[in-house]
Chain A
Amino acid sequence: EVQLVQSGGGLIQPGGSLRLSCAASGLPVSGNFMTWVRQAPGKGLEWVSDIHTDGTTYYADSVKGRFTISRDNSKNTLYLQVNSLRVEDTAVYYCATSFALVPLHAFDFWGQGTMVTVSS
């Protein structure tokens, strides 16, 4: 059974930083294409970032240069380092993935989500 268990998040002031974690079981983060998606309060889903099996990364324009996706294969964990946070980054952040071993795919599996609130 695949499980994605998220941690991190919280209340942070504008300009601050956080690291979000997504611990995977049932599949190797190194062997799968992993994704972060976010959802602002009362809003729809927004793709944030992908990391491919070869380590190639992709970012939404809204977070490029401020967010960094990475993984620790030994811990089987995906990360999202979020820097220079803005009020508009306030959202629930989800990690997601699929058994489909292709770069672009739908998301079979989702973490439970972690809330990031950016406010002074």
Chain B
Amino acid sequence: DIQMTQSPSTLSASVGDRVTITCRASQSINNWLAWYQQKPGKAPKFLIYKASSLEDGVPSRFSGSGSGTEFTLTISSLQPDDFATYYCQQYNSYPITFGQGTRLEIK
């Protein structure tokens, strides 16, 4: 199974900050990586696919990058609505696996 490891587990930041979340795969996933945002009590919201492609309707302050085994999600200027938990997901092979999540909290 491909293990997905996110860092940090918790990130404290302020509105307007630029933040980066890292996701590492235990083996190459050929850029088949997605990012999701989840708020308490809600289903995940799809943000990015194939490592760097922004889903329609997602604000351009979100961006993804990386290749092979190391990937990042960057939010260029945090907005109040962005405080949530973020997950990466690999869909290169079964079983599909998710990172453990990064909680982005207000400093």
Contact = CB atoms under 8 A, between A and B. Distances in A.
Partners in one complex: yes
Interface of A: 35, 44-47, 50, 58, 60-61, 94, 104-113
A44 B34 contact: no
Contacts of B60: none
Interface in B64-107: 87, 89, 91-101
25 contacts: A35-B96, A44-B87, A44-B99, A44-B100, A45-B87, A45-B101, A47-B96, A50-B94, A50-B96, A60-B95, A61-B95, A104-B93, A104-B96, A106-B49, A106-B89, A107-B34, A107-B36, A107-B46, A107-B89, A108-B55, A109-B46, A110-B43, A110-B44, A110-B46, A113-B43
Tell me the interface secondary structure of chain A in the complex: loop
B62 interface: no
B101 to A, nearest CB: 5
B32 A44 contact: no
Interface in B26-47: 32, 34, 36, 38, 43-44, 46
Interface of B: 32, 34, 36, 38, 43-44, 46, 49-50, 55, 87, 89, 91-101
B93 to A, nearest CB: 7
A94 B43 contact: yes
B91 A106 contact: yes
Contact of A104 (B38, B43, B44, B92): B92
* 10 cross-chain pairs, A with B, having the tightest CB-CB distances, nearest first: A106-B34, A110-B43, A47-B96, A45-B98, A104-B91, A106-B49, A44-B101, A44-B100, A108-B46, A58-B94
Contacts of A35: 96
Contact of A47 (B36, B49, B92, B95): B95
Contact of A45 (B44, B46, B92, B95): B44
A112 B91 contact: no
A110 B94 CA distance: 19
A46 B93 CA distance: 14
B16 to A, nearest CB: 28
Contacts of A110: 43-44, 46
